[in-house]
Structure 1
Amino acid sequence: MFWNNKRTPRGSSAAAEKASPPATISATASTPSSATTSATNSAAAARASRRVPATVQIDVGAEATATTDLVDSALAVIDEAGAKNSPVLQKHGDELSEIRELIQKIRYQGDFQTPDVGRALVKFKAVAESLVQVVSADAGNFTARDLDKSMDEITNAAENVRKQLAGDIVTAKNNVIETGFQINAPIGKTFAEGRIISKALGNRAINANQVNSLVYGSAADVLGLIEAIKWTGGSKWTYEGRG
């Protein structure tokens, strides 16, 4: 699959300037080892560019702002390339929107702005710059394969950022149940230290009970809860809940 988009989003040229140039290998027939040395050095330099020393002071809020701009640039190109008419583009656009929401939480909530988050965010920004380059290259021409690869990288980088948060984000999304009882979140007596954010999106309960947030307690407590609310005798549930 191939998409054509003539617009270059705001900020894409800046991302291109920051990206590392392709490795250049020069060698003659009499010195074959020079090619290997050049390639090895270039690869090592590329890996080093993504490593952030623990002693480096990072303005996490500023990094989150710059990263949001990059994600917005990629979203603009994907939207203009026809996300509304392409399930693949729509899927990737939705994924980027969720990632943007994560970065925005870090941008505006100071307790998420820790050194570990900052280092993960710097690495994420480098991957986001690569994504912008992919979707903006050749006036917005990009293939589904190129986009899939870049989205896989940025999704993994975003997950690494999320894992560094002081706390956790629990998401219950698109779960459906018809009659019965369903819990779409962790169960336990204790959870990670720090802020815990629960999100419930697109869930449906038809004549059923559904829990889409953290449940504090043991397995026995949950069984007791189910026993307390389940229907008995000839009674029926006749409602549909969404959340």
Structure 2
Amino acid sequence: MNAAVLLFPGINRENDVARALQQATGKRPPIVWHAEHDLPKGTDLVVVPGGFSYGDYLRCGAIAGRANIMDAVRAHAARGGLVLGICNGFQILCESGLLPGVLMRNANLKFVCREQHLRVERTDTPFAGKYAKGQVIKVCIAHGEGNYIADAETLKRLEGEGRVAFRYCDEAGKVGGAANPNGSLNDIAGIYSEKLNVLGMMPHPENLIDALIGGIDGRGLFDSLAGFSASFAA
């Protein structure tokens, strides 16, 4: 698995993601600056990490979604290449047209930073093969605009096609109420593209990959990617 991590002005989680990928694959991924026009040759996976690209001006992810490198990412995804967007990365994927819907201000209009439980909705994808369907995992969230919104038809399609990757839940796996930290429709924490090769999620799995810092539930996502044998030469 050859990964590449994108870097935009204001992104601040690129090294955390790179460390998680190195732990899973044994290889430190290259960091690709937003002004580049091409991905490294042989890239299988592109990761768009979290942070505050361009200071979250206009809309979160709106400027980054139009960066030079995103043309290469769209072409990569169209060929079947894997793309993962985390937090601000999820916002960028929506703004770039790779995923439907938008991320709006949290329902309580407050930034939320805490550990958060998620329920794994499906495992037959390159991103979740190391988890069990319905498994409750603990990761972290840190966002002010994580409220996933989509029109009724889009939401129906996401649900009907099984494209919800994770839902916010409590420790017992129950969704709704206080377990939803931002008001996201249908308690959605992450979604897949139509071909299941693009995943956007608000929580940070890279935060919990080491028992010394509170848990290892996030490791399953990166181990799933490392174990997925595919080659999408750029």
TM range (shorter): under 0.3
In terms of fraction of residues, the more helix-rich structure is: 1
TM-score normalised by the chain length of structure 1: 0.24
In terms of fraction of residues, the more strand-rich structure is: 2
Computing the radius of gyration from Cα coordinates, the structure with the larger value is 1
If asked which structure has higher relative contact order (CA below 8 Å, sep 6+), I would say 2
TM-score normalised by the chain length of structure 2: 0.24
